[in-house]
Structure 1
Amino acid sequence: MKFAYRFSNLLGAVYRQGNLNFSRDGNVVISPVGNRISVFDLKNNTSETLPFSTTKNITCVGLSPDGSLAIVVDEDGAAVLVSLITRAILHHFHFHKPVSSIRFSPDGRKFIVTKENVALMYHAPGKKREFNAFVLDKSYYGPYDETTCIDWTDDSKCFVVGSKDMSTWVFGAERWANLIYYSLGGHKDIIVGCFFEKDSLDLYTVSQDGTLCVWESDTELDGLILKKSQDKPKLPRQGEEEEEEESEERDKVEGEEGEVIRGKVETAKEREKKKNVRYKMMSKHFFNKEGDFNNLTAAAYHKPNHILVTGFASGIFHLHELPEFNLIHSLSISDQRIASVAINSSGDWIGFGCSRMGQLLVWEWQSESYVFKQQGHFNNMASLAYSPDGQYIVTGGDDSKVKVWNTNTGLCFVTFTEHTSSVTNVTFTSSGFVIVSASLDGTVRAFDLHRYRNFRTFTSPRPAQFSSLAVDASGELVSAGAQDSFEIFLWSMQTGRLLEVLAGHEGPVSCLCFSPVQSVLASCSWDRTVRLWDMLDSWQTKETLPLTSDGLAVTYRPDGQELAVATLNGEISFWNPHTATQNGSIAGRHDLQTGRKETDKITAKQSAKGKSFTSLCYSADGESVLAGGQAKFVCIYNIKEQMLIKKFEISCNLSFDAMEEFLDRRKMTEFGSLALVDEGAGDGDGVSISLPGVRRGDMSSRHFKPEIRVSSLRFSPTGRSWAATTTEGLLVYSLDGSLVFDPYDLDLDVTPASIRKQLRLQEWASAIVLAFRLNEKALKQEVLEKVPHEQISVVCGSLPDIYVEKLLGFIATCLEKSGHLQFYMTWAQNLLMLHGQKLKNRSGAILPTLQALQKSIQRHFDDLSKLCDFNMYNIRYAVALSKQRGLKRAAEEETEDQEEEDEELSEEMSEASLEDAEMML
């Protein structure tokens, strides 16, 4: 089995903090999620997380105008230059201070970074290789407090900077004679946004108290005059030493900060003397009515459409047309503050990010509808489970929600909110269409994935908090363990009735697992025992397995012939469930490598004695076991050799606690760590009220760093990926065949040239065998797709048995993305028809391959069936409509014929009456 798993996607979290960005075409949203970047394709409805990560949470992202480069900056000011085409890191840089915003110029030649009270202009990285990609051009001083926002003019000649000192500064990007700097006031609160008008120096400034100022410039962009270069004036002769010292200081400053431009607030008389650019406030508008104190938290302006979007702390956003300040519409999209707003290039879609709830929304303002709406678990995720075909992942969290994720798109498509307390465990039934979840609210609920509803609710006779859950292979029996009454409850899925209450454990039941081949339930408890319950023999205890410490997790091997148990002392023991004998054990405490929390008074070495694995899962072939727990590492062990094969570091984000083994010496005092002193408020709207007795969340402190840990992990049924619920979110690691060269039975004669020679000779079977021996994906695909359609059955029949399984696995991967659906389906059908009996004898070994094939076929079936159903219903509607119109026409013709007959009859009667009258006369 291969173990070259790499991080592939991050689910369960869509936005944390920082600014949102749209791509150049406006169809992709780039969202910072912790220390990673997620890319959401709105057109194809897919998500992807870029493979790089920063050392701390990302605070701002700057996108180049052509969309090929991005500068990502974290909380400490460490910047990373990333190529969005190759997804590779090109350059590292450190600003040494927190950065509030970053913005490329429209021409892509410069970019501005604001930190503290200074704006730094850098030359943008070129297309050539450079030793230093960030070259400082100018440093602009002016504001007295931290800078908050930036905007450029359309021709990149000037830029504007907003500040927390309630002032706005306009600077020239070049050495203009009539505009070096200009300061604007007019506000009574922090500047949230400042925007230039299209092709103009006119300005709009927005402050946190909901005030909009409209500024008009007396100069057009074409009216900026370039300052003539002059020689530096000679210094007065005050001695050669003073002259040398001043020149050395000047060279030193220019070397560190580039050209320094220092602005100062000028009086009206000083401005009148200079023939510089002047600004005049044309109007002032207020978002809040009298008595309303709703803070404005985010703003964005679309210059071509003159549309201003503002987000508020109450979750409301306004859409205004400027400069008239006409309200287009207003909507409440959340009950938490809107942290970021972005508008795409066409101005049709507006992106909103709510950091506290973890929401990401894209709103189309013209049709007043959501284009995209996603929200992760806003609390820790507790458990996950794969569907039998590997297409879906279900997660349960402490926010009492159950969410179902599509592994192909990476998006959540349904959320169940029936639980009223933390969800402790979730699982799928064998059919894959029913989800069962257990919660601390005392209920176990079953959800239908066809109708998206809760169709069964199981409860206990006495209220109990359920901490573990299991469903048998048939999907008929549902069991849940209680953490307060130490009992196990059994229900029938069909009737919903309680069948039995299993008592015997003397501690909380931590984990339950049904045998995949027998009606045997394994229960693990804190009383240092694992009990095996026979479901067919009156639910009696079959065996009791003694443990060396408290039991935390238990799982069966896929063939049901072995049992793995994780205990509190960091060991994993393996048992034979038939003979109740122990086959072996692994001491994995040292592999966890736990870190020291900032508030720990003991070292990491001492605290590691209380850490252990809390989740176990066998691989698809049963030869390895995946283990994770109270640390940042996930370990894969070989069961036969009882040794560590590979260890995965799930996060390198230092914004989490317990990431490093040793604390920073600079933060240590003789009385302990400085983190033990809780001082200052966070970046919220105010100091949160301390609550006594809080057991979860921020522990009543003003600063809270979550601890990194793995709560649950599972292998995919296909064996090509595994997922883990962590503090960071739902992480998915997959095998990428293109990254690993893994030939099979390689020889000197096995070369791409010899394979293509066999193709020219039309030796199809020989070419396929050679291609699979070299094991290069592109070459295998080329060989397969050159085989004529009518020769597929002949080639399948002549293939050696060892290559049939390899070909089936390759077809399963090709079916996911290839457009040649019928071609690959024909390959799969012929392989299964001709080699079905031999494959059936080895069904246990090739089960992951068959499940991967089923997953690919099922996905195409779902997509095509929806399209076919839609077309079929349209055709039925058209036929019914034509029939109705035909009946209507027939009825109209009948009425016309009847009218003609009536007219003829009336004419005949009138003629007859005329004849009678003539005869009487």
Structure 2
Amino acid sequence: MKFAYQFSNLLGSVYRKGNITFTPDGNSVISPVGNRISIFDLKNNKSQTLPVETRVNVTSIAVSPDGRIAILVTEEGEGLLVSLVSQSVLGHYHFHKEVRQVQFSPDGSKFAVVKDTVVQVFYAPGKTREFNPFVLYRTYPGHVDEAVCLDWTSDSRVLCTGSKDRRTRIVATQRLKNLNVYDLGGVRDTVIGAFFALNSMDIYCVARDAYVFVWKCDTKLSDLEPWVEEISKNKEDEDEDDDDADEDTGSKKKSKKKRKIPEAEPEQGKGIIYSGGGKFSFREARKDTGFCEVTTAAFHKASHLLVTGFEDGTFFLHEMPDFNMIHSLSISEQSVNSMAINNSGEWIALACGKLGQLLVWEWQSESYVLKQQGHFNDMTCITYSPDGQNIVTGGGDGKVKVWNSFSGFCFVTFTEHVGEVTGVKVTQNGKSVLSSSMDGTVRAFDLTRYRNYKTLTSPKPDQFSCLAVDGAGEIVCAGGTTEFMIYVWTMKTGRLLQTLAGHEGPISALDFSQSDGVLASGSWDKTVKLWGIYEQAGMRETIDLNSDVLALTFRPDGKEFAVATLNAHVTFWDTVSAQQKGTIEGRHDLGYSRKDADKVSAKTSAEGKAFETLCYSADGHCILAAGRSKNVCIYSVSDQLLMKKFVISCNHSLDGIEEFLDRRKMTEWGSLALVDTGQGDEKGSAISLPGVKKGDHSSRHWKPEVRVYSLQFSPTGRSWVACSTEGLMVYSLDQGVVFDPFELDMDITPASVRRTLGKGEHSAALMLSFRLNEQSLIQEVLEAIPVDSADVIIESLPDTYVDKLLAFMGHMIESSAHIEFYLLWLLPLLTAHGPKLKQRSQSVMSSLRTLQRNLTRKYEDLRKIADHNKYLSQYLQSLSQLKRKKPSGAVAKEVGQDSDEDDDSEDENLKELAWREGSSDSDSSMDIL
């Protein structure tokens, strides 16, 4: 078992706070998710979270015009320079203030930062060779209140800023003859957005009170002339004595005194003048919905498209400068926090922080390109589908979501539950999802038709805290928290078969053994009971423990199960004999941490922590454990030793991250964290004295607590996921950083393997490459062996090398273009060694799951291409049949002669277009194949 797991993706959370932006090519959206950033590729339908983590939440993002670097700014004003190519941090800079917006100039030479009442302009990193990537160019003060927004002109010489002081300020970043600083007023509320028109000095100002102001400039952008330095040099009178010795006369010559008279400074050009070009209001368009404040705005210069978002979830599209309304839509009942328009002006990205929602809307076709939303509350449970293709999550908001593990997108959401979802399971055939909830129901959802086709309830109203499904998917069990019963249903009829009584406390954990169908239940009454569901005897064994049971899970082979208790112990038990096999003391492995409002030390608070979720690895050699902590521990089951500890987050915006008390928050009256300041209000409020509070007395300022709700290993064993406060964290196994040879000798080298292959000893070369265990070398040897000899080689392979060959082929089918080649190897492998593989199915189950997942994914990709080509060929056939039908009659011939020529040319264009689409599809199919 390797432990080189690294963070690979973040699912279940698409937006938290801050501004979203498009990449320069317009195909991807970059969204801040907590202290990380996620990139949603809309063209390839895939999401990716960069392995870059900041100290607190990210609030501002700016991408360079070339799309190579990005600047991230956090809540505390810390700036990070991130390479989008290498996905690494290149530099740090602290702005020491909260930054409202960061924006690169269109030419990419500078970037501007709005903070407090000033605007700072920096040289863009990478344009020159410097030690510090953040080099300040100039600071522009002038606002008397906090600046909110900024925008650049098309030539990157002038920028404008909007502020809470109700002014728009135009500043020249280069010294110009006719412009230095210009102020625009007339606004009665905060300027939410100020935008320059394309290749013009005209400005559109959007105010918070739902007004839009248009300012016309009498000077074109091309008429802005740079300042020419014409300063005459005034020198003081200087005596210049030139002693020139004359060889003949020996006389000395004295130079005369000269004085330069300063010339008059030339008169500079006159300044620019702005005049009102119009004042428009949204109040007329909002007669039905009522008045709401504007929260965000975006402007596309090429198409003159102005998009404004409101606090009630509506957004308007207007064409400027005439303010013609194009669309008026609503995405939710919560305010729109951020929006962006891509470079072509076709897609509009909208983000809502309260709902964690991210939308990309194509306004011309009035359709969604992307519509993603995480759980409103935290995720509470998770499970993988048997093939590892999908991930199912349940949340505190009562929703069940199904995510694609490859793309990272949610493709279906079930909202039938009205209470918190406490458990989710997928049947063995992968066609149904079962979920238990605190609303007293267990629901079955169909993944083919996406509907709730069965609902299971108990005779008396009860709240279900856990769920278990047997290996065949026929028996469903749920544990209650009020009646202390275990309810058993059959999936075929939905009838309640029996109720298992015996526990004296709420049922906290249930799990089925996949080998013999034994059901294990854990409870707060400090017992674990083993039940024979398929037998009439009922309860088999009762195991007494020293503390309350919090989690329970079986090993994949069903011969062992692990129990996590309230005293932070993990105990291992034999299923048949019910004897204890080992114990892990994990209290200190959870780590020491404290909340801001804790009055005890981190070491003292750690005494109340325990593991709340357990999961065995695919091979059963290791176990994952986590709880109310930022750490995830992986233990060796045989040695009961901690092998590695993973820190899921270092985001100090979460509670429970810090190990020691922050001295910066300490005052002579105590910690500021203990003072309820009412900072939960989005509009903000000043920190008041202890005991003084105004406004909404029900508002509270709180930070979410970092914790892990559930863990799950993928069936392939290549990755594991954790349901945390940050979202669904995916950790994958990195093959490139581990060198793991198998029975390696001194004489086994890549050169010796290639020599053996050159001699024609294919079987020996293949086994030597597996002993060296380098993927590139195994691929080179395998692809050099003729396919005709695959049957003979596979029959002579020992079982150890058969397992390694099966795992290698499952991995290669995912990434290689030679699918048919590997399938021709795979067929004799499964045919010849099928019975032996069935006997040791537990050891090769992860390889078989990987193979199944990758084959399913390739099948879906190829099926889409084949269907597209099929329909395209049918279209071409019908087009050719229509062309053969010509109009009859002389009049029709005379009248339709010219039109036939036009039709022929149009048909030729259609054929050419169809041929291009077919060639592009064939190219994409070649890329896949």
* Mapped contact 1:478–1:490 kept (Cα < 8 A): yes
Tell me the residue number matched to 1:822.
820
Q: CA deviation at 1:824?
A: 1.5
- What amino acid is the match of 1:503? A
Mapped partners of 1:273, 1:873: distance in 2: 69
Work out the CA distance in 2 between the residues paired with 1:488 and 1:331.
Answer: 48
Deviation at 1:224, TM superposition (A): 1.8
Structure 1: how far apart are the matches of 2:39 and 2:223?
A: 41
* TM-score, length-scaled by structure 2: 0.87
Asked if the contact 2:681/2:699 (under 8 Å) is kept, the reply is no
Query: Aligned residue for 2:808?
Result: 810
Give the equivalent residue in structure 1 for 2:368.
370
Match of 1:645 in 2: 643
Q: Once the 2 structures are TM-superposed, how far is the Cα of residue 885 of structure 1 from its aligned partner?
A: 14
In structure 2, the partner of 1:50 is 50
Per-residue deviation, 1:755 = 4.1
Q: Map Cα deviations across residues 210-261 of structure 1 (whole Å, 9 max, x no partner).
A: 1111111121222222223477999xxxxxxxxxxxxxxxxxxxxxxxxxxx
Give the residue type in structure 1 aligned to 2:171.
Answer: F
Q: Does structure 1 conserve the Cα–Cα contact (< 8 Å) formed by 2:442 and 2:457? A: yes
- Give, in whole Å, the separation in 2 of the partners of 1:230 and 1:578: 97
Partner secondary structure for residue 580 of structure 2:
strand
Q: Are the equivalent residues in 1 in contact too, given 2:177–2:269 (CA < 8 A)?
A: no
Superimposed CA distance per residue, residues 565-598 of structure 1 (whole angstroms, 9 cap, x where no aligned partner): 0000100011112112111110101100141111
1:603 equivalent in structure 2: 601
RMSD: 2.8
Match of 2:24 in 1: 24
Give 1:808 deviation, angstroms: 1.4
Cα distance in 1, alignment partners of residues 232 and 398 from structure 2: 69
In 2, the alpha carbon distance for the partners of 1:686 and 1:103 equals 25
Which residue is 2:902 aligned to? none
The answer to whether structure 1 residue 736 and structure 2 residue 731 are counterparts is: no
Partners of 1:758 and 1:111 lie apart in 2 by: 59
Q: What is the one-letter code of the residue matched to 1:277?
A: I
Pairing 1:161-172 to 2, within 5 Å after superposition = 161-172=161-172
Return closer, same or farther for 1:101/1:874 CA change in 2, 3 Å cut-off: closer
Is contact 1:594-1:630 (8 Å) kept? Answer: no
Q: Which residue of 2 aligns with 1:115?
A: 115
Distance 1:882 1:419 in 2: 54
Residues 1:778 and 2:780 are matched in the alignment: no
Residue 6 of structure 1 and its aligned partner are, at CA, apart by 0.4
* CA offsets 1:836-893 (integer angstroms, 9 cap, x no match): 343333222111111111111122223334555676788899999999999x99xxxx
CA separation of 1:438 and 1:168: change in aligned 2, threshold 3 A: same
Identity of aligned residues (%): 55
How far the C-alpha of 1:89 sits from its partner, in A, is 1.1
Q: How does 1:169-184 map to 2 (within 5 A)?
A: 169-184=169-184
CA distance in 2, matches of 1:582, 1:699: 54
The aligned residue for residue 275 of structure 2 is 280
Note the alpha carbon deviations across 1:547-582, whole angstroms, 9 max, x for none: 110000111111111110000010001111211211
AA of the residue aligned to 2:342? N
CA distance in structure 2 between the aligned counterparts of 1:455 and 1:821, rounded to whole angstroms:
38
Report the counterpart of residue 831 of structure 2 in structure 1.
Answer: 833
* TM-score using structure 1 length: 0.88
Stretch deviating more after TM superposition (220-229 or 142-151): 220-229
Which residue does the alignment assign to 2:137?
Answer: 137
> What's the CA shift string for 1:139-159, capped at 9, x where partnerless?
000111111111111111111
Deviations 1:271-303 (A, max 9, x none): x99821221111111112387321111111111
> Quick one: distance in 1 between partners of 2:721 and 2:220?
57
8 Å contact from structure 2 (residues 678, 700) kept in 1: yes
Distance 2:232 2:124 in 1: 28
Does residue 654 of the first structure (1) align with residue 649 of the second (2)? no
Partner of 2:417: 419
User: Which residue is equivalent to 1:152?
Assistant: 152
Instruction: Please state if 1:33 is matched with 2:33.
Output: yes
Distance in 2 (CA, whole Å) between partners of 1:480 and 1:859 is 33
Q: Shift in Å at residue 364 of structure 1?
A: 0.5
2:483 — aligned with what?
485
Matched, 1:567 2:550: no
- Contact 1:22–1:28 at 8 Å: present in 2 too? yes
Match of 1:67 in 2: 67
Secondary structure class of the residue paired with 1:811: helix
Deviations 1:50-75 (A, max 9, x none): 11111111000010000000001111
- Quote the offset at 1:493 in angstroms: 0.6
Match of 1:906 in 2: none
Q: Residues of 1 paired with 2:78 and 2:18: CA distance? A: 14
1:401 maps onto 2:399 in alignment: yes
Paired with 1:680 and 1:802, the residues of 2 have a C-alpha distance of 64
Structure 1 window deviating more from structure 2 (614-623 vs 756-765): it is 756-765
Aligned equivalent of 1:582: 580
Correspondence for 2:259: none
Alignment-derived partner of residue 590 in structure 2? 592
Cα displacement string for residues 720-741 of structure 1 (whole angstroms, at most 9, x for unaligned residues): 1111100000111010212333
Q: Per-residue deviation at 1:191?
A: 1.0
2:824 aligns to what SS in structure 1?
Answer: helix
> Are the counterparts in 2 of residues 437 and 445 from structure 1 also a CA contact under 8 Å?
yes
Aligned partner of 2:723 in structure 1 is: 725
Matched, 1:358 2:353: no
- Return the alpha-carbon distance in structure 2 between the equivalents of residues 759 and 288 of structure 1: 79
Contact 2:680 2:702 in 1 (8 A): no
Closer, same or farther in 2 for the Cα pair 1:683/1:121, shift >3 Å? Answer: farther
Aligned length: 844
| Native 8 Å contact 1:359 1:375 kept in 2 | yes
Greater Cα shift, 780-789 or 598-607 = 780-789
Q: Give the equivalent residue in structure 1 for 2:503.
A: 505
SS in 2 for 1:724: strand
The change in CA–CA distance for 1:137 and 1:762 in structure 2 (over 3 A counts) is farther
For the 8 Å contact 1:385–1:393, the answer to whether it is kept is yes
Alpha carbons of structure 1 residues 320 and 580: separation in structure 2 relative to 1, 3 Å: same
What is the rounded CA distance, in whole Å, between the counterparts of 1:488 and 1:883 in structure 2? 67
Partner of 1:708: 706
1:791 deviates by 3.5
The CA distance in 2 between the partners of 1:417 and 1:153, in whole Å, is 47
- Quickly say closer, same or farther: Cα 1:882–1:216, change in 2 above 3 A: closer
In the aligned structure 2, how far is the partner of 1:575 from the partner of 1:514? 14
Q: Note the alpha carbon deviations across 1:8-32, whole angstroms, 9 max, x for none.
A: 1101001111111111211111111
Distance 2:751 2:199 in 1: 59
Distance 1:119 1:384, change over 3 A: same
Which amino acid is the alignment partner of residue 854 of structure 2? S
CA contact (8 A) 1:594 1:658 kept: no
Q: 1:160 to 1:802 in 2, by over 3 A?
A: same
Structure 2 CA distance for aligned equivalents of residues 730 and 343 of structure 1: 28
The equivalent residue for 2:858 is 860
Q: Deviations for 1:54-105, whole angstroms, at most 9, x for unmatched residues? A: 1111000010000000001111011111111111111111111111110111
2:324 aligns with one of 323, 326, 333: 326
Specify the alignment match of 1:695 in structure 2.
none
Counterparts of 1:334 and 1:364, CA distance in 2: 17
| Deviation of the 1:44 alpha carbon | 1.2
Q: Which of 833-842 and 576-585 deviates more? A: 833-842
List structure 1 runs of 4+ shifted beyond 6 angstroms: 230-234, 870-886
Equivalent-residue separation in structure 1 for 2:231 and 2:779 (angstroms) = 67
**Native 8 Å contact 1:738 1:777 kept in 2:** no
Counterpart Cα distance in 1 of 2:782 and 2:343: 43
Q: Identify if the C-alpha distance between structure 1 residues 539 and 180 changes in structure 2 by more than 3 Å, giving closer, same or farther.
A: farther
Q: Which moved more, 1:675-684 or 1:494-503?
A: 675-684
Alpha carbons 1:678, 1:701 under 8 Å: kept: no
Corresponding residue of 1:525 = 523
Instruction: Give the Å deviation of 1:777.
Output: 2.9
Q: Distance in 1 between matches of 2:433 and 2:232?
A: 77
In 2, Cα distance between equivalents of 1:843 and 1:721: 20
